[in-house]
Structure 1
Amino acid sequence: MTEDLTQHLSDGVLWVAFNRPETRNALTFAMYDALANLCTSLPTNGSVRAIVISGKGGKAFAAGTDMSQFRDFKTAQDALDYEARIAQALDDLERCPVPTIAAINGACTGGGAAIAAACDLRITSASLKFGFPIARTLGNCLASDNLARLSDLMGAGRVREIIFTARLILAEEARA
């Protein structure tokens, strides 16, 4: 477990929080791995009945993958390995044997939005800003599994629009 991902169990609910508020909870590879490990290693004795995931600091659920994680990439294979690693973590989250709830406050973008989409439920505050601004930042695209999850939630046309324009969806629009 990394200190950047905290957890505590209370009354059968595992409360997990991204703990990098100074970076708007930008995700490290270790954070993705720790979240996936939580989901694949849950006790089977019924002591954990649900997982609630949030972000510390009040400004962001998670602002995507910390771009400093890409500094050591030298080859195209590095990028492909990254995509496979994140896809596995999201698959582990999606297949978690207990209900998963994304408790979203503030920015929920990039990898954070992908995590929220992989959860069973999403509950947001009025300060929600949801989307994938990769057209303005990295210039890459989403993995096919992420596109499928989002299309199931929002519809293919809306997903294309927010990805192509890098527009963030606010709380009122998400509720509608």
Structure 2
Amino acid sequence: MGQILSRRDDAVLTLELSNPGKANALDFAMLAALDEYIAQIDHDDTLRAVVLRGTAGGVFSSGADIREWSALDPKAFATEWIGEGNAVFRRFERLRCPTVAVIEGLCFGGGLELALCCDLRLAGTGARLR
């Protein structure tokens, strides 16, 4: 199960996607954690920016953790994974403060979708977006 690690430096909150061994693939737990951070950010007027990144110097995200949704029937997949996941991404996209995706390495599928929800994307020389 992945997680989202956070670090705050003054008015900047850094959220780090962390799902070791799975190239930071997004799973249900990570989407729920991201949604919780969104709610906190919306209520914290002292935050001036949010930085979203993968593991420093490594992968941003390989997209969805297909093992999470491979057992879902089509209706559950559409509502739980696609519907709820897209709703979280839309809430992230509408955050009141600027958001920056720092992309170093792999950024595929749903990981790229999440990066595109940010206001600004900074890609390192080793970034691979698909």
Cα distance in 2 for partners of 1:109, 1:43 equals 27
Determine the structure 2 residue equivalent to 1:167.
none
Determine the structure 1 residue equivalent to 2:107.
108
One-letter amino acid matched to 1:129: R
Q: What percentage of aligned pairs have identical amino acids? A: 28
Q: 1:14 Cα shift?
A: 0.3
Provide, for residues 120-153 of structure 1, a one-character-per-residue CA deviation record: whole Å limited to 9, x for no partner. Answer: 000010011111xxxxxxxxxxxxxxxxxxxxxx
Determine the structure 1 residue equivalent to 2:78.
80
Q: 1:46 Cα shift?
A: 2.8
Q: Give the alignment's Cα RMSD to 1 decimal.
A: 1.7
- State whether residues 63 and 110 of structure 2, in contact with CA within 8 Å, keep that contact through their aligned partners in structure 1: yes
- State whether residues 21 and 57 of structure 1, in contact with CA within 8 Å, keep that contact through their aligned partners in structure 2: no
Three-state SS of the structure 2 residue aligned to 1:23 is: coil
Provide, for residues 13-53 of structure 1, a one-character-per-residue CA deviation record: whole Å limited to 9, x for no partner. Answer: 00110112321111111111211221233264532111001
Q: 1:70 Cα shift?
A: 1.5
Cα distance in 2 for partners of 1:7, 1:23 equals 19
Identify unmatched segments of 5+ residues in structure 2.
none
One-letter amino acid matched to 2:83: A
- State whether residues 50 and 98 of structure 2, in contact with CA within 8 Å, keep that contact through their aligned partners in structure 1: yes
Aligned residue pairs total: 129
Identify unmatched segments of 5+ residues in structure 1.
132-176
Q: 1:7 Cα shift?
A: 0.2
TM-score after normalising by structure 1:
0.68
Cα distance in 2 for partners of 1:96, 1:33 equals 16
Pair 48,3 (structure 1): closer, same or farther in 2 beyond 3 Å: farther
Pair 8,91 (structure 1): closer, same or farther in 2 beyond 3 Å: same
Determine the structure 2 residue equivalent to 1:66.
65
Determine the structure 1 residue equivalent to 2:15.
16
Q: 1:59 Cα shift?
A: 2.7
Cα distance in 2 for partners of 1:3, 1:25 equals 7
Which structure has more helix as a fraction of its residues?
1
Cα distance in 1 for partners of 2:58, 2:44 equals 35
TM-score after normalising by structure 2:
0.90
Cα distance in 2 for partners of 1:14, 1:101 equals 10
